[in-house]
A and B are shown apart, each in its own frame.
Chain A
Amino acid sequence: MQAHNKKRVCYYYDSDIGNYYYGQGHPMKPHRIRMTHNLLLNYGLYRKMEIYRPHKATAEEMTKFHSDEYIRFLRSIRPDNMTEYNKQMQRFNVGEDCPVFDGLYEFCQLSAGGSVAAAVKLNKQASEICINWGGGLHHAKKSEASGFCYVNDIVLGILELLKYHQRVLYIDIDVHHGDGVEEAFYTTDRVMTVSFHKYGEYFPGTGDLRDIGAGKGKYYAVNIPLRDGMDDDAYESIFVPIISKVMETFQPSAVVLQCGADSLTGDRLGCFNLTVKGHGKCVEFVKKYNLPFLMVGGGGYTIRNVSRCWTYETSVALGCEIANELPYNDYFEYFGPDFKLHISPSNMPNQNTTEYLEKIKNRLFENLRMLPHAPGVQVQAIPEDAVNDESEDEDKVDKDERLPQSDKDKRIVPDNEFSDSEDEGEGGRRDNRNFKGQRKRPRLDKESANKNANDSKSTGAANSNTENSTTDSKDEKDNKMDTTESEETTKTDDAKKDANMT
């Protein structure tokens, strides 16, 4: 019934999400997600997807990554009791960039709930592409809010995917560095984080070319530092080869793409010059790999362009073309004066010379060559089972419709679109604020020995096929000094339980 490039797409949306309000003058506007939703309805894309309303993520779910204390704090803080939490607000970096607003916790629950549900959906193979525009809050740290992000739904989603997938690839095309996700998986080789971002005198200040991961995770963090004015061609010229190489060497079995739309031209905070088409090309390219694919939102502060972009990218995921003429909808007036889907780049100069991009690319290729998967390196470095696992996985995923992607549809759109680079609201286009303002006062938080993780570990031990991978994770545990004892005890308990079960 469906064409070969048509995929089962699940889309997560809560009709309340647009009504959360970060505060006067704050550039982050959840309303953009609702604008996208209304555009999807009126473009007729709504009826082509499975639409889900995510349930609110529980505190337990969120503490799979975040510290108990931090989540408890998020749950209890409200604008009217803020004064009682002065010290904690400082510690958790809540206040300025990440304000306390009404329904803050619910907002985090919805955003995280969407990404977790989407990941589970992919795990169950009930879908091929899942979209949660309410997610993508990539700056949130384990026990710290940062850059408008409180709960890192991406990390939670990836953790869910890791239950079924040996290796998960995370790609970040937000203009800001995906530091929260990178930090969370900095020392593991099961998640590779690839972030394309503006670097230099820009929030959050991380993402240098030489930040490549640590410990076992060395070479599993890939950072592409870029300069102002990236345009479509330049972006493609770096995105395609890097991602191809990453796919080739890392061979993930699932992909998460953070589609932050602040890399679009004319963004209130961004400084790139991408059009909706150029941004969407990244989605298109990743989609071609036919891997379980989770798309999440992220930044994006000129909201009319954000909703344009995410609408277009939903259509790319669905594999159906949509007209450049925007359909009438509740927020039609926002898209004036042209009322077109696509936007034109500005004439800002691109400070990324081909020479510069080439050099970056070569350096990253050198790093990727260090990966055990790389063709030049011996294959035995890979745990045997992992390979099996992965191929099995792939077989299953593509059981029905793994057909060669012979001809890609060309999306033809008239060139006479209108560019509207007027800034949204007040504020400059640069995001220099709070740079380096990060706090570094972490807390011990290791009570949250989550049952699932331990369950899985011990069951893994029972299964001879995945022995190697469990030893791997044991090694990891050894690195984490302060967690080992508690882990050990629970682990043996669980092992007993599992023995009974099996």
Chain B
Amino acid sequence: MTTMYRVGDYVFVEISNHTPFAIRRIEELNKTSLGNVEAKVMCFYRRRDLPNPLVQLADKHQMASAEDSPLAMKIKKTWLRTPVGEEQAAQAVLDPSIASLDEERLSSNSPNSEKSGNGENLTPKQRHQVKHRELFLSRQVEVIPANNIRGKCSVTLLNETESLTSYLNKDDTFFYCLVFDPNQKTLLADKGEIRVGSRYQTDIPAMLSRDEKTDLVIADDRKLEDLESIIWTPHHSLTDRQIDQFLVVSRSIGTFARALDCSSSVKQPSLHMSAAAASRDITLFNAMDILHNHTYSIEESLCSLVPSTGPMLCRDEIEDWSASEANLFEEALDKYGKDFNDIRQDFLPWKTLKQIVEYYYMWKTTDRYVQQKRVKAVDAESKLKQVYIPNYTGGKNSTTITSSKGGASISLFNGTSNGTDLTNGKPCESCSSTNSTNSQWYPWGPAHISCRLCHNCWNYWKKYGGLKQQTRLGDAVGVEPESSTPTPTATPANNKKKFSNDVILEEEKSNDLSNPRQNHKCSIVSCGKEFKLKSHLARHYAQAHGLAVRSGSPRPIMKTRTAFYMHANIMTRLSRILCRHLIKSKKAARQPSFVINTHLVRQEFILNLSGKNPTELKNILIYKKKQRGSVTKIANKLGSPGSGPHEWLVLTPKDKLPKPERIAFPKPPKAPDGSLVYERVPNKCIDFSVKEPDVTILPNTTITTIGSTAISTQVTNLSTSSSSSGSSSIRKRPHEDINGSENAVQSFVGPPTKRPNKDPMPSHCPSPEQFAAMMAAAGQPIPRHHLNGKPKIAHMARTGSGRKQVISWMDAPDDVYFRSTPASRKARNKMLSTSNLRRAARKPWKNLPVKSPPPIIPSTPSDLQVVILD
């Protein structure tokens, strides 16, 4: 069963397993490059999320708004602004008289005279539960993975006419009255104001006096002639049919006029086109005006359609503009967007702004616009309107304690993995029952108190953030786990032991490896075919859509290969040491073409590994310093006189040097003048490796690295699942590890934006250099593309001369860099000490000693699939 979520829906969001759901409103749904869906959401806060003084303030507000006294209105209109932590200040905001009202309220707190909300009689239990239904709106927006959405709810602004019980009687309904600002820690009433005073109201004119006999208004200075001019009146003798006939005649005269007009006959070579042009609304409006101006006499009107200057020709902007003007306009629109003032100034100074606007709205009806829209639609593809998310079924593995298993499953609750002993036999903390649906129990409350909740109460707690009844722990203690993580944005405290953490990370890695490779999808709307290789996609574009994805495109599409690094984990390092004789790392480093037999390495490694226990392995890994003696000693020894030139210091004659089997970097041929001739490598280099086998340095390097990567992969598998050692195949894993994202894989964004291949004038299509010059002339930098959230393109670091490796842009991943935003910097500073940060910069392969994992780590089970509906 799935549920559809749309923009604007209010939803429960799982923040962590042991805190209540957060309540959010979906503002945007975006598809990430990995195919996941992210939701931009607006935050609502619960009472328990608010700082204490503000909760009191909220109480007072609620109490006050229940009254209809002027006093209450006063509070309602006051902006309740309180700096948090200063309770005195909080009090100060409120009128002293309100405080007394408050006292009164508290004193009348006996069950029989109790009043709350709108004077309804609520039981203490209801009063308790109503507090769970109150939310506080904030203007805070955050981004969450759509997978964390757990259901829909409804949040409405409380209306004074509504009873609070109407919320209690309906599941998943919440209300709000106040707006919470988490940054300034203030509560505001969400209300504007109609101002009163002569500065705001208008003077009301008295009624004009009337003549008693005729009952006509005297002294009205208004004359209709000053206010309007008539264009058309229905009071005439013509029938509808006659008007229609006249319209047809005016259109045919228009067609004829176009036939006579030279400029028209060029633009509209066929009669049909002339007729269509003559049928545009401007002709009709003109015909109506003519009828009116000739007092609705068909005869006169007809004559005026054919004055002595020739048949009447009415053209609107779309027809009036020449082809070159149209092209200029499109070019300008491409450059400036819809800034018609700039367009006029720089491209079409001879047109008025009104003409341009009129043209623009007519241009939108043309095919040209439809094409542009299509390109736009590609860009907007990531924006979703709705998303289907299967109902969440997981989560049992982590927090529940299934009593049938006797609580054997590990509970990760607040770092206590011994969830067994504390739950046995205890009744539900909320409803005191000893039976739970599905006999599932959930640990609840702070670890040292160790309570548990039955299934129903757990669900209630997750949704409403409190227990059904006020209990001894009740709101007092129940809030505690939250108070350690005050904002919902904060991630759950993850106190798992380091070791288990590592295991999980390892698992994720291997999961990533086993994922099928990302397919390349055609970005043309209504096509959407998928291809395994980018080159196939390119061919598809060319054949099916007539789009040439070529290097001559105006967009700077060249890409360079991203730097990668190999992360040698423990097992890899072990294998290097244990299989030193097979890997011959020093030789491999000198000679990149040296092939390592990975199968052999693996066999040897498994063999060597089998007999060793972890401590032994650890010892192997310990780096042993070679004892070479002190530097001074060696230097002295080298510099000691009398010993003569050592044999090992004498150079081997050149001809006796051992020749390598293969020259990795052969010298280019010499020109007659003795200089080396470097051949230029064309930009389109799909075929260069075929033509020049000598320069295939890159492939060779990759072989080696792939080899070692494979080892690491393999070893990772070994370490996590001993059974799969033989069966798992070697996979190449591109280590394009940029801040943990693999965006580069999907970087290909389809056809370039500027009317590819359909340009009527090929000369219009600028070369990359021209384009760059254009951009420079326009004062616009070539757009840089960032990884975090922004669109991106690749750019080529170097062009032209110099023997540079240029690889096919389609195969290359994007150049990416991480642009830190203030927020990310802040987060970084929070999570990493400066020394750790520096260490990480020096050793990028090291795991970051992050205090808490970033919130967007896909901790949800991977079987949760998100189906996207565009």
A-to-B contact residues, CB < 8 Å: 12-13, 15-16, 18-21, 23-25, 31, 34, 38, 41-42, 44, 46-55, 64-65, 67, 79, 102-103, 113, 116-117, 120-121, 123-124, 126, 141-143, 155, 159-160, 162-166, 179, 182-188, 190-191, 199-201, 204-211, 214-215, 221, 225, 227-228, 271, 329-334, 348-349, 351, 355-356, 359-360, 362-363, 389, 392, 396, 428-430, 436, 438, 440, 442-446, 450, 452-453, 455-457, 459-460, 462-463, 465-466, 469-470, 473, 476, 480-483, 498, 501-502
Complex formed: what's the CA distance from A24 to B191 in Å? 30
Complex formed: what's the CA distance from A123 to B199 in Å? 28
Q: Are the C-beta atoms of B206 and A469 separated by less than 8 Å?
A: yes
B218 to chain A, nearest CB (A): 7
Question: A436 and B224 in contact (CB under 8 A), knowing A19-B354, A163-B208, A225-B159?
Answer: no
Whose C-beta in chain A lies nearest to the C-beta of B282?
A330
Whose C-beta in chain B lies nearest to the C-beta of A217?
B201
- CB contacts (< 8 Å) of A21 on chain B: these are 340, 353, 357
New contact pairs (16) apart from A48-B234, A54-B228, A124-B224, CB-CB < 8 Å: A16-B354, A24-B338, A47-B232, A52-B228, A52-B230, A64-B202, A65-B202, A163-B205, A183-B195, A191-B204, A201-B179, A221-B194, A330-B281, A359-B162, A428-B7, A429-B8
Whose C-beta in chain A lies nearest to the C-beta of B190?
A201
Q: Are the C-beta atoms of B218 and A51 separated by less than 8 Å?
A: no
Complex formed: what's the CA distance from A123 to B204 in Å? 16
- CB contacts (< 8 Å) of B205 on chain A: these are 159, 162-163, 452-453, 456-457
User: Which listed residue, A51, A331, A457, touches B206 by the CB 8 Å rule?
Assistant: A457
Whose C-beta in chain A lies nearest to the C-beta of B226?
A55
Q: Are the C-beta atoms of B341 and A392 separated by less than 8 Å?
A: no
User: Which listed residue, A359, A436, A481, touches B192 by the CB 8 Å rule?
Assistant: A436
Q: Are the C-beta atoms of B207 and A162 separated by less than 8 Å?
A: yes
- CB contacts (< 8 Å) of A452 on chain B: these are 205, 221
> Of B299-307, B358-366, B445-453, B709-717, which stretch is located at the interface?
B358-366
Asked if B573 is at the interface (CB within 8 A of a chain A CB), the reply is no
User: Which listed residue, B27, B157, B221, B227, touches A201 by the CB 8 Å rule?
Assistant: B157
Provide the B363-381 mask, 1 if CB < 8 A to any CB of A, else 0: 0111000000000000000
Whose C-beta in chain B lies nearest to the C-beta of A441?
B199
Q: Are the C-beta atoms of B161 and A184 separated by less than 8 Å?
A: no
Question: A184 and B201 in contact (CB under 8 A), knowing A164-B217, A356-B162?
Answer: yes
- CB contacts (< 8 Å) of A23 on chain B: these are 339
User: Which listed residue, A116, A430, A455, A502, touches B227 by the CB 8 Å rule?
Assistant: A116
Question: A330 and B156 in contact (CB under 8 A), knowing A42-B281, A456-B208?
Answer: no
Q: Are the C-beta atoms of A453 and B203 separated by less than 8 Å?
A: yes
Q: Are the C-beta atoms of B354 and A46 separated by less than 8 Å?
A: no
- CB contacts (< 8 Å) of B27 on chain A: these are 428, 430
Chain B 160-216 interface residues, beta-carbon cutoff 8 Å to A: 160-162, 166, 179, 190-210, 212, 215
Q: Are the C-beta atoms of A142 and B8 separated by less than 8 Å?
A: no
A111 to chain B, nearest CB (A): 14
Ordered by A's residue number, 6 sampled pairs between the chains whose C-beta atoms are within 8 Å are: A50-B230, A201-B179, A453-B203, A465-B212, A470-B206, A483-B203
User: Which 10 A-B pairs give the minimum distances between C-beta atoms?
Assistant: A205-B192, A200-B157, A117-B227, A359-B161, A206-B192, A51-B232, A442-B199, A333-B365, A463-B209, A19-B354
B124 to chain A, nearest CB (A): 25
Q: Are the C-beta atoms of A481 and B198 separated by less than 8 Å?
A: yes
Q: Are the C-beta atoms of B365 and A473 separated by less than 8 Å?
A: no
Whose C-beta in chain B lies nearest to the C-beta of A30?
B357
Complex formed: what's the CA distance from A348 to B8 in Å? 9
Whose C-beta in chain A lies nearest to the C-beta of B232?
A51
Q: Are the C-beta atoms of B361 and A331 separated by less than 8 Å?
A: yes
B-to-A contact residues, CB < 8 Å: 6-8, 27-28, 73, 137, 154, 156-157, 159-162, 166, 179, 190-210, 212, 215, 217-222, 224, 226-234, 240, 243, 280-282, 284-285, 288, 316, 337-341, 353-354, 357-358, 361-362, 364-366
Q: Are the C-beta atoms of B157 and A126 separated by less than 8 Å?
A: no
B3 to chain A, nearest CB (A): 13
- CB contacts (< 8 Å) of A480 on chain B: these are 198, 201, 203
Q: Are the C-beta atoms of A459 and B362 separated by less than 8 Å?
A: no
Complex formed: what's the CA distance from A141 to B202 in Å? 10
B405 to chain A, nearest CB (A): 41
Question: A483 and B198 in contact (CB under 8 A), knowing A205-B190, A428-B28?
Answer: yes
User: Which listed residue, B8, B160, B200, touches A141 by the CB 8 Å rule?
Assistant: B200
User: Which listed residue, A123, A179, A201, A445, touches B222 by the CB 8 Å rule?
Assistant: A123
- CB contacts (< 8 Å) of B221 on chain A: these are 452, 455
Q: Are the C-beta atoms of B208 and A183 separated by less than 8 Å?
A: no
Question: A199 and B157 in contact (CB under 8 A), knowing A24-B338, A44-B240, A436-B192?
Answer: yes
Q: Are the C-beta atoms of B228 and A12 separated by less than 8 Å?
A: yes
- CB contacts (< 8 Å) of A221 on chain B: these are 194
Whose C-beta in chain B lies nearest to the C-beta of A12?
B228
Complex formed: what's the CA distance from A96 to B362 in Å? 27
User: Which listed residue, B7, B194, B212, B222, touches A183 by the CB 8 Å rule?
Assistant: B194
Question: A46 and B202 in contact (CB under 8 A), knowing A183-B195, A331-B361, A356-B162?
Answer: no
Q: Are the C-beta atoms of B224 and A120 separated by less than 8 Å?
A: yes
Q: Are the C-beta atoms of A460 and B224 separated by less than 8 Å?
A: no
Q: Are the C-beta atoms of B281 and A19 separated by less than 8 Å?
A: no
B137 to chain A, nearest CB (A): 6
In this complex, which of B27, B222, B284 has the most chain A Cβ atoms within 10 angstroms of its Cβ?
B222
Q: Are the C-beta atoms of B156 and A19 separated by less than 8 Å?
A: no
User: Which listed residue, A20, A186, A330, touches B194 by the CB 8 Å rule?
Assistant: A186
Q: Are the C-beta atoms of B8 and A41 separated by less than 8 Å?
A: no
Whose C-beta in chain A lies nearest to the C-beta of B28?
A428
Question: A120 and B222 in contact (CB under 8 A), knowing A55-B228, A430-B8?
Answer: yes
- CB contacts (< 8 Å) of B280 on chain A: these are 330
Complex formed: what's the CA distance from A88 to B684 in Å? 58
- CB contacts (< 8 Å) of A102 on chain B: these are 341, 353
Q: Are the C-beta atoms of A121 and B204 separated by less than 8 Å?
A: no
A147 to chain B, nearest CB (A): 11
- CB contacts (< 8 Å) of B220 on chain A: these are 123, 163
Question: A120 and B219 in contact (CB under 8 A), knowing A206-B192, A228-B8, A331-B365?
Answer: no
